[in-house]
Each structure stands twice: as C-alpha cells, then as structure tokens.
Amino acid sequence: MRGHMAKPQLSLTDSIKSDQDLRDQYKDSSNLNARAAIYRFRVGAVAWPKWVFDQLLAELGETAKIVEVGAGPGGLWRENLARVPQGWRVLLTDLMPGMCDEAHQTLSHDSRFTFGRMDAQQLAIDDASFDAVIANHMLYHVPDLPRVLREIRRVLKPGGKLFAGTNSERHMQRMKELAAQFMGEGSPFNGEMPFSLDNGERLLRHELKHVESRRQLDELRVTDAHAVVRYILSIQGAPEVIRDEKLEKLQRLVADEISTVGAFVIPIDAGLFIASSLGEHLIKSRPPS
C-alpha cells in the first residue's frame, strides 16, 4: 500500500462547488437516494445498476480484482449481489466516511468485499494491482480529472480496464430546465459537464488510448409530482432557494403537466466508457492472477 494520504484539496464542479458542498451533499446517501428514486418511473426494463453489471460480466473473467472509486453506499453491488462471481474480489472506496460506513454495513458480511476511505486523486493502492477500476457517475465531481486518470492507469494491471459511467448533456434535461427556472443563476447545471458522454472519450484518451462507449437511451414517465419535487430539492442549494410560494409554484407546475399529458416526461441518455491502455488484451482471456 502507498504511504499516508495528504488531506485532499477539493474544489468540485457541477452541483458541487466547494469542500463544504461535497460534505453536505454526500455525507450520507440521502440526497443520492432522493435522485435515484425517480428512476422507478423509467420506461425501459433494464435498470442502470443491472445494465452496468451486464457490461462488467461481459468484459471480466470469473476471477478478477476490482476497485470501485467513489463507490458511495455500494448500490451497484447491493443491487447485483447474487450475480457477483465467487472469484471476484472487490475493494469499495469513497472519500466520504458516511458513504464508506453505509457500504460496510450493507456488504461487510460478504468476504468478497473490502472497504477503504480514499481520495481518488491519491489512491492508497499498489501499482498494477487491479484488473478493473469502476468510476460510476463520479468523474465529473473530481477537482483534478487528469490526476485521477493517472492514478487509475497506475493501479490497473496491463490490459486492465476502466469502466466509467456518466451522462450526456441531454440527460435529465427537463430537470435541468426546472432547476434553472426556479434557482436562476444559482442552478448548479449551468455550463458544460466536466466529464460527459460528449467529451469523455477525448479526456480519457490522454491516459488510456483504447476507448469505447456504450449508451443507454430511455425516458422517465413520472406520474407522481412529489417525486419530481423531491429530486429538485435534493440539488445543492435548492432547499434554501425554492421555498414557500416558489415551492408551491413548482408543485403546481409539475402536477398540472401530469394531469394534462399523463406524465412528466424526462429523457435519459447515460452510458459507460470502457477504456484500456492495452486494448488488444482482454481481461477475460488472461489467466487468473
């Protein structure tokens, strides 16, 4: 393992603007769960955690060492626990102690999982020690993306792969429009995403030369106005801005649309980059280490 980690210097983008924003948003999984709950209204049959896990199973062998950075409360694994091969060994890491605690409480009974509090910019992991790194909807939060990608490349074995989940600029566009309407310049969604399906390949190729993308297009047809409002209020800064009459206006707007057209329709455009420095080698074709 590497030496003691320096205290991380955070200056996050998107909905996270500071160290305190990060700690407020991700001290535990409550805001994350509020946003995830709306996906029960998706039209397609394959939920995101299952779809991502399908890609992992297709690419990795029955024996593999895997680290997830920014793993949060371990939702990807909790939702697919029965599908995890017995030969996989998975290290779940996150910067936030609350997230690490939740993941540990959920999965520590299973010997395939270990846990660590780590900054993705400075992973306390040996060089060339993992077959796969998973960064699921977290690379757009990191303050120094090139540094994180160098760390990911460092810990991957030759032929190892990065699985990086993210969204396109179009993803959840209706929610971005609501945030802009009710939060004004305070909306965290102004400007381009730091790491998206639109710009991610170019960014990844600086460190991992072989990159492919896989996309999941779908839509949400939300029939519960409260689910939309709860999602909006989970955004950093929204509860302080959207209150009283403004909150009532938001509730009416969403409820009226559901009443008129039958649902509040939200496009989904998410996907996964699979990247490797040695694209000609497949993990599943290598003998177990």
Q: Decide if 6 is inside a domain.
A: no
- Give residue 52's domain range: 19-171+189-217+269-281
Q: Decide if 248 is inside a domain.
A: no
**Contact yes or no for 201/213 (Cβ under 8 A):** yes
Q: Decide if 164 is inside a domain.
A: yes
* Bridge partners, residue 64, by sequence: 88
Looking at the structure of the chain, the number of domains it has is 1
Tokens of 188: 């965290």
Q: Decide if 83 is inside a domain.
A: yes
Report pLDDT for 287: 36
Q: Decide if 114 is inside a domain.
A: yes
State how far Cα 64 lies from the chain centre.
21
Please say whether the dihedral angle defined by the alpha carbons of residues 230, 231, 234 and 238, taken in this order, is positive or negative: negative
Q: What is the CATH number of the domain that holds 31?
A: 3.40.50.150
Q: Tell me, what DSSP letter sits at residue 218? A: E
pTM over 0.75, yes/no = yes
**The tokens 């955070």 sit on which residue?**
10
Q: Decide if 127 is inside a domain.
A: yes
CB burial class (10 A; 0-12, 13-18, 19+) of residue 86?
Answer: exposed
Mind listing the pLDDT tens digit of every residue in the chain (289 residues)? 333 333 332 222 344 344 444 444 444 456 666 678 899 999 987 999 999 999 999 999 999 999 999 999 999 999 999 999 999 999 999 999 999 999 999 999 999 999 999 999 999 999 999 999 999 999 999 999 999 999 999 999 999 999 999 999 999 999 999 999 999 988 988 788 999 999 999 999 999 989 999 999 999 999 999 999 999 999 989 999 999 999 999 999 999 999 999 999 999 999 999 999 864 444 443 333 3
